[in-house]
Structure 1
């Protein structure tokens, strides 16, 4: 009898558990940037040796080569993120640095017990949403045009920013 009660208590305690130790849901999305050819705007253009570094960080975020789409994180503890984009970073004679500053509002959204909260972003819906500036030592702005495809950054399934160069 004691074995049956113990087995029954064990079965009841395990049946009330949830699968909440693994977060399989969406998390805070990264900003998706896609690159295009200025002369042929409908054609994706691969970047060469693009070094991306967040302002105030001592290490680079990533160096991208032979890709036309990248994903970079935005700060969740503020409303501005500024990145240095250095094109041809491995060629010291031809490198070109531009800065992009992203201004946005944040909203924390509950995902699940396992995942907790994620932050979604809303880029400012004016000229201050994305600001492009040149390096301290001017070398010419290599990003010819920047188009915001969507101000709401809620997932990584779509392109948020298009850059033409």
Structure 2
């Protein structure tokens, strides 16, 4: 078998860790399991990344394609934001769950805060105006977080079985009321 380069070994470890952390969470994944999936010695995982937590923080990122959020009028943003979330791929869901489940670790909790601020609050804040725009963005992000909690953490079977268009209509209206309140 041909020897891998250091960068190929590092990438193999990252890929294995990303897969396992998304499937099993931080606590449920061992360095040995990562090494086995990457087909490397466990010592190489530590050599390349120093610690499991460092590897976790390097591989668990939640990003949304926020381009669709910029293409709709502000009056349609609530529904569109929910559609984008409901259509997000398994990688987004897996990374979000891994971050939530690992949030007892302070650095992972900080990453979750960063994800909340950069993935949910900032895109919403960028679309809003007015003196309370930041508060409305934070309230909207909290509302979105509640939906993700119900769908992805709790696994509410009734919500999961509900048509995405119905959820987008109903939850989108709630979100829209925060984004563009009636005076």
**Which TM-score band (shorter chain)?**
under 0.3
- Which has the larger share of strand? 1
Larger radius of gyration: 1
Q: Provide TM-score, normalisation by structure 2.
A: 0.24
- Which has the larger share of helix? 2
Q: Provide TM-score, normalisation by structure 1.
A: 0.26
